[in-house]
Chain A
Amino acid sequence: AAGVIQSPRHLIKEKRETATLKCYPIPRHDTVYWYQQGPGQDPQFLISFYEKMQSDKGSIPDRFSAQQFSDYHSELNMSSLELGDSALYFCASSLNTGGFGNTEAFFGQGTRLTVV
């Protein structure tokens, strides 16, 4: 079965550079979530999209932005990178929660971002 695809799997950037992470949800899933997981930490919710509109926002820095495109893939854009941005970034997708929140999210393998 198709899973959530994230690219790239690994990314190394220097401070103050920009990075773009891509997420391709499971086919027919219309909701995408982004999470950040620091070393030894639990995943922290960043932002979510439902039907290409932002549906919820968590602890996403102002330096980060995200969007969901017409084909439902999503991109997380990160600017002015800081050392503290080094983390595993997960994308997850689910089908039509429609605001009810009762469906599970399926996670991708993650993108490991290292800022040096």
Chain B
Amino acid sequence: AQSVAQPEDQVNVAEGNPLTVKCTYSVSGNPYLFWYVQYPNRGLQFLLKYITGDNLVKGSYGFEAEFNKSQTSFHLKKPSALVSDSALYFCAARGFGNEKLTFGTGTRLTIIP
């Protein structure tokens, strides 16, 4: 069975500081990893994905994520946080040949002006 863990329910970061939202996963075989963002009363919006290749992937709105196979992690990062980055962030994973996309429990990111 595949699973995703986001150990922090809430992350607070001052505007302009770097941010990290943590994610670890467990899937069979090679993982396909995704980050989504959810604003209030909105659907999930795709940010970025790791399929293969470079461990550092870049996505929308200046976000990037680092895949670490040995630590089974896929942490979301941004060098300089904006107040508009405040939202709920979900990490998701699926294994090869599996349609089911499994989500973590979400991390609420709050950027403090």
Interface residues of A (CB under 8 A from B): 4, 31, 33, 41-45, 48, 50, 55-56, 58, 90, 92, 97, 99-102, 104-110
Contact = CB atoms under 8 A, between A and B. Distances in A.
Interface residues of B, number: 24
A109 B106 contact: no
What 7 A-B pairs are tightest by C-beta distance, nearest first? A56-B99, A107-B43, A107-B44, A42-B103, A48-B99, A101-B94, A109-B43
B47 to A, nearest CB: 9
B52 to A, nearest CB: 8
A42 B3 CA distance: 12
Q: Which of B34, B42, B43, B101 has the most CB of A within 10 A?
A: B43
Given A43-B44, A43-B90, A90-B44, A104 B102 contact: no
A109 to B, nearest CB: 5
Interface of B: 32, 34, 36, 42-46, 49, 51, 90, 94-106
B19 to A, nearest CB: 20
A100 B96 contact: yes
A19 B77 CA distance: 40
Given A90-B43, A104-B46, A109-B42, A50 B99 contact: yes
